[in-house]
Structure 1
Amino acid sequence: MKRLLSFFLCFGILIFWSSCRNDFEFTPSKGQLEFAKDTIYLDTVFTNIGSSTYNLKVYNRSDDDIVIPTIQFENGVNSRYRMNIDGTTGLEGAQEGKFFEDVELLAKDSLFIFIETTIDISTLGGLENQFLYTDKILFDSGNNQQDIDVVTLVKDAVFIYPSKDAVTGIVETLSFDVDGDGTPDETTLQGRFLADDELTFTNEKPYVIYGYAGVGAGKTLTMEAGARVHFHADSGIIVTNNGSLNINGALSTDQETLENEVILEGDRLEPLYEDIPGQWGTIWLFNGSENNTINYATIKNATIGVLSEGDQNATNNKLTIRNSQIYNVSSYGILGRATSIRAENLVINNAGQSSFAGTYGGKYNFTHCTIANYWNNSFRQFPALLLNDFIVDENNAVFTNDLIEANFNNCIIYGNDNPEFLLENEGDIFNYKFTNCLLRFDNNDLQGNGNYDFDDESFYVGNVFNEQPDFENSSENMMRIGADSGANGIGLSAFASQVPNDILEKSRSASPDAGAYQSVVFDED
């Protein structure tokens, strides 16, 4: 009986409550909507590539439940934008995503509008390589109309991508001589080799690469000053047997835009992705490629900035890299495997493992380089600099290869861990030397190892240990050194004469500092 009385009591309260409210009585909007933004900026997009989704929050601050008679784009069905309002796409057909009727909004409530676009720049008219496309979202009409601007910069680009079978959906993969037996081998790398008329990247348009762009035997890929190269996920460049890569950037007058440098990064242009590591694969200098040069380049947000394999006994260095920066890589800035690299005025920072790793022996000569690692996204296993002369296969068998030489002259090797260089050898020939460098190493456990006898001038000469480098802002990859740097004035003039100007063309003649930059006095602001 008590349960029955409770039921009737609750039912009566429900009837009374619902009869006293007007929740379902909507009044027309009177042009008093409020918006979280007055303009929606969709970040720069490439032609025919869909944008990210952006949102606009719309508020009803009144005490009335309202209905917005129409929400639409000013350009109507011809708008290049599309929107979704709280999960709905509006009218069907040509007006889907463009036109909405009788959108209800409760008192003191809000709704979300999601906006995105895909634009073919060739349909916008004009001859420019970029176009500022605009539209408006109109709320209601007549005297009650309110509007929000929508703005997107669209860039034309050169797209390089492998073919895809229309029936099977299979994407083209690269075939080349992997094992050195003279016969092409099938690989699982999606991509294709560049045609002869694609082997020069200019600064006229950005390049967008899907899969691996291959440089074939006897071919050279040249990137001219100011070129911009963007890679999709799991994409990169591979230079195969007898092929070469020449990146020919130049000093920029504006260190923010880097107008003359060659910049290689991911294809997501939104600010959110500006410093996200691991967005693309690597520049892969495969065994047998030759005479690769990189000058005035910025390589960022890759998995491995540069992967150089083999050819440690080449007459010329397999890779010569100068006046360049590698940042925000999820694994290694440069990974060398039994290879030969010469580096001058090179800056590497923020790597998920090592900024530079010379593995399985090889030949390395670094002068006036800043090899730093202030990675803070996760735990990293290795220091900024790693050198070893061995590999271990899946059966735990150890194979060694000579470390012919590894010379670090007038360099900074530092980071947010300790120690920041590690030397591991299993074979007989393991030659290295640190001369007039600023080094981070304070580890009593390792100092018992013969590789860390800092009094042995066969391996260590004129170095400074554990003094602060006074970087401008290592978390933002601003790696200039200040007036209080432990690297100031410690460089050896003999090496400075080989690289007489720093990465910004500032002279080292007076008093050479270690690292890629001569010291400056930072602005107080």
Structure 2
Amino acid sequence: MKRLLSFLICFIVLLFWSSCRKDFEFSPSTGNLEFAKDTVYLDTVFTNIGSSTYNLKVYNRSDEDIVIPTIQLENGVNSFYRMNVDGTTGLEGAQQGKFFENVELLANDSLFIFIETTIDISTLSTLENQFLYTDKILFDSGNNQQDVDLVTLVKDAVFIYANRDEDTGIIETLTFDVDGDGTPDETTLQGRYLENDELTFTNEKPYVIYGYAGVGAGQTLTMEPGARVHFHADSGIIVTEGGTLNINGELSTDQEALENEVILEGDRLEPLFEDVPGQWGTIWLFDGSENNTINYATIKNATIGVLSEFGQNDTNDKLSISNSQIYNSSAFGLLGRATSITAENLVINNSGQSSFAGTLGGKYNFTHCTIANYWNSSFRQYPSLLLNDYTVGENNTVFTNTTQAEFTNCIIYGNDNPELLLENEGDDFTFKFTNCLIRFNNSNLEGTGNYVFSDATRYEGIIRNVDPDFENPFENLMRIGEDSGANGLADSTFSTFADILGTSRSADSDSGAYESVIFEDND
């Protein structure tokens, strides 16, 4: 009986209290909303490519529950922006994402507005292939109206993508001789071969590639100074048998703008994605491609920056790369597989595995290169530089190839130790490091196998474990300072060309791709 009486008393009190509450009565807003920002910049997007989602936080600082009569885009149904207000999309039909009515906001509370855009630049008046598109979010109307600006820079581009079958929805895939038996093979690699009128990339517009752009027999893809190439996820370039890639950048006068370099990166232009590894696939120099050259290029945020496979001969290298930078590769910066590569003034840094790996044998000649790895996004299994001469086939059969590798006036360093791994199963494994700065401090390996540093036929004039004094390797600033262990280390016999910035090398030149500088004091 007592429990029943207590329940009835509580019920009566609750009923009386709720009838008196005014907490659920919302007053119209009075134009006193506050915003986390007065302008939302949606950064840069390509025409007809959706942006990332941005947010705006709206505050009710008052002690009253309020209702905002309307939240809308100033350009209405014609706006290229779309919104979501605290999980709702607003009115149905053409006004969805554009117009919201009677949005409630509790006292001393806040709500989120999420904003996206997809803009067709062809409907806008453009200047130099880009346009600044703006709109406003309007809160309420009349004397109570408040607004927040929306701003997006839109760029026009040349889009290269595989065809899609309208009936089946299947996307075109590439066909080429994968196994070397002379018969073309169908692959699952989405993409298509470039048409003849697509084989020159200029600096007039950026290029956006979906899937793999193929360069086939008798074709040469040329990238002119200042070209900008952007890859969607799982996209890249593949140069198949008889094809050639020539990236012909030039030295830039502005090292921030890099106006003359060719830049290859992902298609997400927002600052958040500026240094995110693994946004796209690779530049794949497949078996049978020939005479590939890369000069003054920046290759960033790939899975593998450049993959060069097979193609050794005694006359021409499969790849010649110079005055170039490869950064933020989620796996390898430069990966060679039984191939031939010559490199000068090459800088590689921040790779999820090795910055340079020459595997399954091959011929490699690197001069004045900086091969570093200051990867800090996860654990990495391999050092900055890896060389091996073998592969393991079925039944654990080991196949070996000849390795010939020379590294002259180079820096091989990173935030792990050691940063050099040399593995061989065969006898034709020859290498030499001359006047290089190397991070190697491992008492278990030192003096054994390939790590007898007193062997002048393999190591000559090297210095180990002295700070290279990089400007900021975690930000890919790889110039060396006046306290670098590489200062004056180079053999000037091989210093016959300027450094990567065009600075002349003196008789006591420095190892690595850069001549040393005195860093400015930023304090």
Same fold (TM > 0.5): yes
Aligned equivalent of 2:334: 334
Q: CA deviation at 1:449?
A: 2.1
Aligned equivalent of 1:279: 279
* Amino acid in structure 2 at the alignment position of 1:504: L
SS of 1:83 mapped into structure 2:
strand
**Alpha carbons 1:291, 1:316 under 8 Å: kept:** yes
**Alpha carbons 2:344, 2:369 under 8 Å: kept:** yes
Aligned equivalent of 2:381: 381
Aligned equivalent of 1:458: 457
Q: CA deviation at 1:423?
A: 0.5
SS of 2:12 mapped into structure 1:
helix
Q: Could you tell me how far apart the structure 1 residues matched to 2:258 and 2:394 are?
A: 44
SS of 1:10 mapped into structure 2:
helix
* Amino acid in structure 1 at the alignment position of 2:518: V
Q: Could you tell me how far apart the structure 2 residues matched to 1:471 and 1:2 are?
A: 80
Is 1:55 equivalent to 2:55 in the alignment? yes
Q: Could you tell me how far apart the structure 2 residues matched to 1:16 and 1:264 are?
A: 69
**Alpha carbons 1:237, 1:283 under 8 Å: kept:** yes
Aligned equivalent of 1:65: 65
Aligned equivalent of 1:265: 265
Aligned equivalent of 1:481: 480
Which of 477, 500, 511 aligns to 1:503? It is: 500
Is 1:358 equivalent to 2:358 in the alignment? yes
Aligned equivalent of 2:81: 81
What is the 5 A alignment of 1:32-51?
Answer: 32-51=32-51
Aligned equivalent of 1:433: 432
Q: Could you tell me how far apart the structure 2 residues matched to 1:194 and 1:226 are?
A: 20
Aligned-residue RMSD, C-alpha = 1.1
Q: CA deviation at 1:100?
A: 1.2
SS of 1:282 mapped into structure 2:
strand
Aligned equivalent of 2:306: 306
Stretches of 4+ aligned residues off by more than 3 angstroms? none
Q: Could you tell me how far apart the structure 2 residues matched to 1:2 and 1:40 are?
A: 61
Q: Could you tell me how far apart the structure 2 residues matched to 1:9 and 1:430 are?
A: 92
* Amino acid in structure 1 at the alignment position of 2:63: D
Q: Could you tell me how far apart the structure 1 residues matched to 2:126 and 2:441 are?
A: 62
Q: CA deviation at 1:18?
A: 1.5
Assess, with a 3 A threshold, how the Cα gap between structure 1 residues 135 and 394 changes in structure 2: closer, same or farther: farther
Is 1:244 equivalent to 2:244 in the alignment? yes
**Alpha carbons 2:447, 2:453 under 8 Å: kept:** no
**Alpha carbons 2:69, 2:102 under 8 Å: kept:** yes
Q: CA deviation at 1:314?
A: 4.8
Q: CA deviation at 1:71?
A: 1.0
Q: CA deviation at 1:510?
A: 4.0
What is the 5 A alignment of 1:130-141?
Answer: 130-141=130-141
Cα deviations by residue, 1:472-516 (Å, 9 ceiling, x for unpaired): 00000000000100000010010112xx21000011124210000
**Alpha carbons 1:74, 1:138 under 8 Å: kept:** yes
**Alpha carbons 1:58, 1:111 under 8 Å: kept:** yes
Q: Could you tell me how far apart the structure 2 residues matched to 1:290 and 1:314 are?
A: 13
Is 1:225 equivalent to 2:222 in the alignment? no
Q: Could you tell me how far apart the structure 1 residues matched to 2:140 and 2:457 are?
A: 81
Q: Could you tell me how far apart the structure 1 residues matched to 2:75 and 2:84 are?
A: 16
* Amino acid in structure 2 at the alignment position of 1:348: I
Q: CA deviation at 1:126?
A: 3.7
* Amino acid in structure 2 at the alignment position of 1:396: N
Is 1:512 equivalent to 2:509 in the alignment? yes
Deviates more, 1:456-465 or 1:72-81: 72-81
Q: CA deviation at 1:182?
A: 2.2
SS of 1:486 mapped into structure 2:
coil
* Amino acid in structure 1 at the alignment position of 2:505: R
Cα deviations by residue, 1:175-203 (Å, 9 ceiling, x for unpaired): 01122222211111010000000000011
* Amino acid in structure 1 at the alignment position of 2:480: I
Q: Could you tell me how far apart the structure 2 residues matched to 1:20 and 1:253 are?
A: 74
**Alpha carbons 2:492, 2:507 under 8 Å: kept:** no
Q: Could you tell me how far apart the structure 2 residues matched to 1:146 and 1:246 are?
A: 54
SS of 1:359 mapped into structure 2:
strand
* Amino acid in structure 1 at the alignment position of 2:313: N
* Amino acid in structure 2 at the alignment position of 1:508: R
Q: CA deviation at 1:395?
A: 3.3
Q: CA deviation at 1:13?
A: 3.1
TM-score when normalising by structure 2 = 0.98
What is the 5 A alignment of 1:4-15?
Answer: 4-15=4-15
What is the 5 A alignment of 1:157-306?
Answer: 157-306=157-306
Q: Could you tell me how far apart the structure 1 residues matched to 2:65 and 2:52 are?
A: 32
Q: Could you tell me how far apart the structure 2 residues matched to 1:364 and 1:251 are?
A: 25
Q: Could you tell me how far apart the structure 1 residues matched to 2:102 and 2:464 are?
A: 71
SS of 1:303 mapped into structure 2:
strand
Q: CA deviation at 1:462?
A: 0.3
* Amino acid in structure 2 at the alignment position of 1:375: W
Deviates more, 1:70-79 or 1:28-37: 70-79
Cα deviations by residue, 1:300-356 (Å, 9 ceiling, x for unpaired): 000000000001225211100000000000100000000000000000000010000
Deviates more, 1:157-166 or 1:311-320: 311-320
- Return 5+ residue gaps in structure 2 as ranges: none
Q: Could you tell me how far apart the structure 1 residues matched to 2:252 and 2:175 are?
A: 38
**Alpha carbons 1:314, 1:340 under 8 Å: kept:** no
Q: Could you tell me how far apart the structure 1 residues matched to 2:487 and 2:60 are?
A: 61
**Alpha carbons 1:176, 1:184 under 8 Å: kept:** yes
Aligned equivalent of 2:399: 399
Aligned equivalent of 2:421: 422
SS of 2:320 mapped into structure 1:
strand
Q: Could you tell me how far apart the structure 1 residues matched to 2:265 and 2:52 are?
A: 18
Q: CA deviation at 1:6?
A: 3.4
Which of 505, 510, 522 aligns to 2:519? It is: 522
* Amino acid in structure 1 at the alignment position of 2:324: S
Q: Could you tell me how far apart the structure 1 residues matched to 2:484 and 2:297 are?
A: 26
* Amino acid in structure 2 at the alignment position of 1:441: F
Q: Could you tell me how far apart the structure 1 residues matched to 2:134 and 2:127 are?
A: 18
Assess, with a 3 A threshold, how the Cα gap between structure 1 residues 395 and 270 changes in structure 2: closer, same or farther: farther
Q: CA deviation at 1:448?
A: 3.9
Determine what percentage of the aligned residue pairs are the same residue. 79
- Count of aligned residue pairs for this structure pair: 522
Cα deviations by residue, 1:141-162 (Å, 9 ceiling, x for unpaired): 1111111000000100111110
Q: Could you tell me how far apart the structure 1 residues matched to 2:183 and 2:271 are?
A: 45
- Return 5+ residue gaps in structure 1 as ranges: none
Deviates more, 1:33-42 or 1:63-72: 63-72
Aligned equivalent of 2:113: 113
Assess, with a 3 A threshold, how the Cα gap between structure 1 residues 131 and 379 changes in structure 2: closer, same or farther: same
Q: CA deviation at 1:429?
A: 0.4
* Amino acid in structure 2 at the alignment position of 1:453: V
Q: Could you tell me how far apart the structure 2 residues matched to 1:2 and 1:190 are?
A: 76
* Amino acid in structure 2 at the alignment position of 1:426: E
SS of 2:152 mapped into structure 1:
strand
Is 1:443 equivalent to 2:469 in the alignment? no
Assess, with a 3 A threshold, how the Cα gap between structure 1 residues 448 and 3 changes in structure 2: closer, same or farther: farther
Q: Could you tell me how far apart the structure 2 residues matched to 1:134 and 1:226 are?
A: 28
Aligned equivalent of 1:411: 410
